[in-house]
Structure 1
Amino acid sequence: MTDFAIPAGSPSSIPNRDIKVMALISVAHGCSHFFQLVLPPLFPFLKNDFAVSYTELGLVMTLFYVTSGVLQTPAGFLVDRIGARNVLIGGLALFCTAILLYGLVPSYWMLLPVAVLAGAGNSVFHPADFSILNASVDQKRLGRAYGTHTLGGNLGWGLAPVLMAGGAAMLGWRAAPIIAALVGYAILAALLLNRDLLKEDAGAARRAATKAGEKTEALGPLLSLPVVMCFGYFLLLSFALIGTQNFLPATLAALYATPFALATTALTGFLLGASAGVMVGGWVADKGVKLEAIVISGLLGAAALILLIANLDLPAGALVAAITAAGFLQGFTTPSRDLIVRGAAPKGASGRVFGFVYSGLDAGSAIAPLVIGLLLDHGRADYVLWFVALMLALTTLTAVAIRQSSTKKTTAVAAE
């Protein structure tokens, strides 16, 4: 862990086996993101059928995300103990069943325990996915594997609102989640049929540690400074992402009276730019470029563009271009970010480390809307964009801290 760089010299062609693993894990990740947004497009239908308020429906999603966030780290421990493959398959089966039950519940109150069940299913994907990719894909292609994984999730988010709302309009709201669950079961079947492709290294790492006479405390890896800094990275980054993905249209409308159509077009540009960025960023990370350099340049570039928008009422074309470029730069850093986490995780602990640090996204997603909502309520839309830029800049500091703390730890170990 002395150097956050992936060796250069990867061949131009990717072996068929790596492609299959990347496709399986990315599709499963996309399914999990799709399932996260199954209910919100159905809220108008649920509100009428169950005679409830949007606040009550919001409680369903709160239960889902709280459960998922709380259980991500335990899911990571389970990955390290029994293997990522079984945890991923079990989690997806649980998630599919919960989505199926969404379409069958007779009352609003039954949605609440089903949301908890869905949150438990959702909690396994990050620790299991990354553990499988780390063990199954050639190290020289991990950047591209991580980028494809992120792209799969983004596509799941993008498809869910359109397909769920359209399905509900044509077939009724109950049919939409049932059909989504059936598609999920088909993806589950694909994982089962190809389970031999999904390698695991937790057991091997554990046996190696035992042979060497080493014992790693269960919580030890999570309390190390590099891993704590990784958690801080995800926490701060989530503040910036919520500020753009959730509040950009409202912020632009309050700040410059930007028309809703233009503001949503800008947001679409941000999301598409981020998706393109993760693919280019994965390729660059695999070329041996310093990972922290990618992160720092990308996030500071995105912060500079956000500050530009905060201070200038740009023409429509320039606004969309600037937001799209900011999204690209932020997405460009994502594979390098995940490779940095991998470098900070001790052998045999990648599941719990990825589960723990990714829970920072859930924590930040719970806090950021309150902060940004207060700023907008007090007429400080400009502060929202300054807040986003500040969080991006602070995130780069955690990347530097991860590098420095890991280097010091490795140096100390070598000196013993």
Structure 2
Amino acid sequence: MVQRGGYVRAYAGVAVLRERVRRVLPPVVVLFVLAHFSHHLLTALPIPLLPFIRNEFCLDYTRAALVVSAFSVPYGISQLPSGWLSDRFGPRRLLLVGISGVALAGLLVGISTQYALLLAGLALMGALGGGYHPSAPLLISSVVEPSRRGSALGFHMIGGSASYFLAPLVAAGLAASFGWRAPFVGLAIPAFILGIVFYVLLGRRQKAASVGQSPSAPTHADDHEVNWVRLAAFIALSGFLAAALQAVLAFIPLYLVDVFGYSEPSAAAVIALFYSAGLWAAVVGGYVSDRIGNVPVVAVLALLTGPSMVLIGLNSSQALLMGLVLFLGVALYARAPASEAFVLSESPTNHRSTVLGVYYFGAMEGNGVLAPIVGYLVDRWGFTVAFEIAGLGMMAVALVCTLVVVRTTRRSRASHARR
């Protein structure tokens, strides 16, 4: 009887633990982690493979940057119509296009033989990829409590982070043996299949639990309470942070090859260090934002990123350089769940995906614009000056936007206190 009672208590303890885990991490969030992984299998390839692509097509730094922009500019632009379409027609079909459609476009990139065809394939991949991000956070936020929204969105980031961490390692090995096209072709097939599987599984969940077609995550904001100045300043802060980080990151492999003498495969593998931060920093960032607020997390990371960019250009120690690359990865990923949670909670109820589309548009389109500028600066004055200008610009934007967000927040609180 004593042994049986112990089994009963143990089973009850497991049941309680399982219920707590389900509250923090519902099964649908796990499903979206897999979807996020599939979405980014191909989008993670252009930057680590850039040295290989540059060598084949004999590109200067400016034309090499266009390889990044060919994907990132359409990717950013497509966020706007995708958010609008998700609000009106539901996200499931857009998510399919954002995973399997990207895989098919990546296959076209892998079989391209000319520079112009390469750019066209990357542009198509970016245009089709816009359906994922404006749709996924809204669905996730609809099945978790507002107090755990940052943590859930942080877990979701693990899927994309795993892709960005693994893809450079796999790509470097395949590219060294079979050329830079092999990773695109080899990863496009499983990504396409995973997109179909996710589409079917999500459809089954929608039928069983009515989740996803018209989500309405709880929020304190409505059409009459939205502080548009604060929301716009925050989107500008987080978006510029993401854009500047990715624009600088695009030149890290070339910097390592041309300044530190790394081989192309070794330089590509270093990018995995940057993306490894996403395996844990997003979860930590989401958890911290649930405790202290979204704005402090993003503001502190933005204010620290500028000096880090300047140090990359001035630094001659490889160990310190690796540490700075890792910190930039932490800044990118810890920022993401805090930013998504803020945008979802501050946006009008019926337009959350649309506002998320604007948010992602700014971050991704900004990367497409900034990358060629950084490339031009490298061509004209070298890596050190380019990274210094990027860092100083980041510091200026971070300071101005943070002040605007803080001031508008104080005014809003004072206004509510007088009511």
Amino acid at match of 2:28: V
The 1:83/1:330 distance shift into structure 2, 3 A limit, reads closer
Contact 2:306 2:393 in 1 (8 A): yes
> How much does 1:77 deviate?
0.3
Q: Relative to structure 2, which stretch is displaced further, 245-254 or 189-198?
A: 245-254
| TM-score, normalised relative to structure 2 | 0.73
**2:244 is the alignment partner of 1:237:** no
Q: Tell me the equivalent position of 1:354.
A: 356
Q: Relative to structure 2, which stretch is displaced further, 368-377 or 396-405?
A: 396-405
Q: Tell me the equivalent position of 2:289.
A: 285
The 1:324/1:407 distance shift into structure 2, 3 A limit, reads same
| TM-score, normalised relative to structure 1 | 0.74
CA RMSD of aligned residues (A): 4.5
* Aligned residue runs from structure 1 range 203-352, under 5 A: 224-242=228-246, 244-248=248-252, 258-260=260-262, 269-273=273-277, 275-286=279-290, 288-307=291-310, 313=315, 315-325=317-327, 327-329=329-331, 331-352=333-354
Distance 2:400 2:175 in 1: 45
Describe the superposition over 1:202-249 as per-residue Cα deviations: whole angstroms up to 9, x where unpaired: 4658xxxxxxxx9x79xx98x932343244224421453035412346
The 1:284/1:409 distance shift into structure 2, 3 A limit, reads closer
Q: Tell me the equivalent position of 2:162.
A: 155
Describe the superposition over 1:240-294 as per-residue Cα deviations: whole angstroms up to 9, x where unpaired: 303541234666899xx655479888765444345432222122223x2122222
* Aligned residue runs from structure 1 range 43-54, under 5 A: none
Distance 1:342 1:317 in 2: 39
* Aligned residue runs from structure 1 range 47-196, under 5 A: 62-102=69-109, 114-164=121-171, 166-167=173-174, 177-195=184-202, 196=204
Percent of counterpart pairs with the same letter? 23
Q: Relative to structure 2, which stretch is displaced further, 339-348 or 384-393?
A: 384-393
Unaligned runs of 5+ in 1: 1-10, 206-213
The 1:125/1:408 distance shift into structure 2, 3 A limit, reads farther
Q: Tell me the equivalent position of 2:388.
A: 385
SS of residue matched to 1:30? helix
> How much does 1:114 deviate?
4.8
Q: Relative to structure 2, which stretch is displaced further, 238-247 or 124-133?
A: 238-247
Which residue, 365, 368, 372 being the options, matches 1:363? 365
> How much does 1:64 deviate?
3.6
> How much does 1:125 deviate?
1.3
The 1:231/1:266 distance shift into structure 2, 3 A limit, reads same
Describe the superposition over 1:102-144 as per-residue Cα deviations: whole angstroms up to 9, x where unpaired: 5567988766665454223201111011111111233232222
**2:34 is the alignment partner of 1:30:** no
The 1:178/1:372 distance shift into structure 2, 3 A limit, reads closer
Amino acid at match of 2:375: G
Contact 1:240 1:392 in 2 (8 A): no
SS of residue matched to 2:350? coil
Contact 1:30 1:154 in 2 (8 A): yes
The 1:344/1:397 distance shift into structure 2, 3 A limit, reads farther
The 1:368/1:109 distance shift into structure 2, 3 A limit, reads closer
Describe the superposition over 1:123-172 as per-residue Cα deviations: whole angstroms up to 9, x where unpaired: 11110111111112332322222223333223222333443454567678
SS of residue matched to 2:348? coil
> How much does 1:42 deviate?
9.4
Which residue, 366, 370, 374 being the options, matches 1:372? 374
Distance 2:397 2:234 in 1: 12
Distance 1:32 1:281 in 2: 22
Distance 2:393 2:52 in 1: 36
Contact 1:306 1:323 in 2 (8 A): no
Q: Relative to structure 2, which stretch is displaced further, 239-248 or 122-131?
A: 239-248
Which residue, 4, 14, 21 being the options, matches 2:28? 21
Distance 1:204 1:327 in 2: 32
Contact 1:278 1:333 in 2 (8 A): yes
Amino acid at match of 1:31: S
SS of residue matched to 1:126? coil
Q: Relative to structure 2, which stretch is displaced further, 348-357 or 332-341?
A: 332-341
Distance 1:361 1:87 in 2: 20
Distance 1:105 1:386 in 2: 35
Distance 2:59 2:71 in 1: 15
User: For this pair of structures, how many residues does the alignment match?
Assistant: 390
Contact 2:53 2:180 in 1 (8 A): yes
The 1:203/1:31 distance shift into structure 2, 3 A limit, reads closer
Unaligned runs of 5+ in 2: 1-17
Describe the superposition over 1:288-307 as per-residue Cα deviations: whole angstroms up to 9, x where unpaired: 21222222333334444455
